[in-house]
Amino acid sequence: MTRVYFVRHAQPEHDWKEDRTRPLTEEGKKDSAIVLEFLKDKKIDEFYCSPYKRSMDTIAETADFFTKEIITDERLREREKGLVLSSFMPQHHYIHHVLKNKASDARYSDG
């Protein structure tokens, strides 16, 4: 059975002006260690992530633990223009859409 684990980025520096390069706070860095603690005994084949620094930094330690590269995908980005999908669309259908439909530009309406 395939299992997909979703990890929301840890706490970013809200005062940082550039959204894509916004780093994690010290608390966010500590929270990323919790991600590792939770996932370290799971079977992880790949790490997919938005290209945002805060998202990559949240899973970087865990990806290193598993000696895996982080695969970034623009379709997983936040707060940019694109096809807005209804919040009523089941999330597993949305993820299937993002991962399988290479030509799409999709995101949930809440970012």
- Dump pLDDT digits (tens) for 48-73: 999 999 999 999 999 999 999 999 99
Helix crossing, 53-65 with 26-39: angle to 10°? 40
Higher pLDDT: 102 or 8? It is: 8
Instruction: Provide the 3-class DSSP secondary structure of residue 71.
Output: strand
Question: From residue 76, how far is each of 9, 42, 43, 67, 108 by CA, in Å?
Answer: 12, 23, 22, 22, 10
Tell me the whole-structure pTM to 2 decimals. 0.68
What is the pLDDT, as a whole number, of residue 107?
46
Give CA torsion, residues 28, 37, 50, 24, to 10 deg: 10
